[in-house]
Amino acid sequence: DQQVKQNSPSLSVQEGRISILNCDYTNSMFDYFLWYKKYPAEGPTFLISISSIKDKNEDGRFTVFLNKSAKHLSLHIVPSQPGDSAVYFCAASGGETSGSRLTFGEGTQLTVNP
Amino acid sequence: GAVVSQHPSWVICKSGTSVKIECRSLDFQATTMFWYRQFPKQSLMLMATSNEGSKATYEQGVEKDKFLINHASLTLSTLTVTSAHPEDSSFYICSASSLAPGEQETQYFGPGTRLLVL
């Protein structure tokens, strides 16, 4: 049972435009959501997170939106830069998952073209 | 802040040997560390949750006798792949859980260890 899903395996965006990465979840007990960025052969890098008591969190070029009723979150990157090209994972914790145990989506490969 | 290191970054070993991978939280104490495995073009697969001073909790399907985890201190966890076989070749990543005041726990990941078993 895939509780966190990223339905788009890849996304291609032009430099300077907005990148929107989407994530859906099924477990209504999740109360904390995170986005990680990963380059090949490296560990994931924490980008931004959001608690279920909020619907938006912004940090520089990165904004995460949470729609609890739709069980959907998205990561907006604006303006996109070629260095943003990487695999982006969304993750969730809470509910039955003990402590800070994370459930990851499958990842979305973002390519930002110069 | 919140830096996690792993050692070694890559290792090649013969089938049947054991390999130890270290995970350290450099600038914070982590009561909980996690071990993941990633296959090419796949998501991170949680192998086990490691709590300082207690036995690790393994995910379903992960052999605890094959993947030995020791969390001896608040800054160090080790994963030992015992009697490694070619199918154990993978990218192993650890993470450490950090809890800042007023924040929820966030996992910070190490750079990963590439294991190749010949």
Give B-chain residues touching A36 at CB under 8 angstroms.
109
- Is B93 within 8 Å of A44 when comparing Cβ atoms? yes
Mean pLDDT along residues A100-108? 88
Q: What is the DSSP string of A7-30?
A: --SEEEEETTS-EEEEEEE--TT-
Bridge partners, B68 (sequence order): B80
> What is the per-residue pLDDT for B16?
96
User: B3 to each of A32, A101, B63, B78, B98, how far by Cα in Å?
Assistant: 21, 19, 29, 16, 10
Alpha carbon of A114: minimum distance to chain B alpha carbons (Å): 24
Query: Rg for chain A (alpha carbons), in Å?
Result: 13
> What is the per-residue pLDDT for B100?
64
> What is the per-residue pLDDT for B79?
96
Give B-chain residues touching A106 at CB under 8 angstroms.
42-43
Mean pLDDT along residues A20-37? 94
Per-residue pLDDT of chain B (118 residues; tens, 9 = 90+): 689 999 999 999 999 999 999 999 998 888 789 999 998 777 888 999 988 878 899 999 999 999 999 988 889 999 999 999 999 999 999 999 877 666 677 889 999 999 999 9
> What is the per-residue pLDDT for B2?
82
> What is the per-residue pLDDT for B63?
93
pLDDT band at A101 (very low <50, low <70, confident <90, very high): confident
Residue A96 has pLDDT above 60, yes or no: no
Mean pLDDT along residues A53-81? 97
Smallest Cβ–Cβ distance between A100 and the set B2, B4, B97 belongs to: B97
Most distant CA pair in chain A: distance in Å? 43
**Number of Cβ within a 10 Å radius of residue B61:** 7
Residue A98 has pLDDT above 70, yes or no: no
> What is the per-residue pLDDT for B1?
61
Smallest Cβ–Cβ distance between B104 and the set A43, A51, A105 belongs to: A51
pLDDT band at A99 (very low <50, low <70, confident <90, very high): low
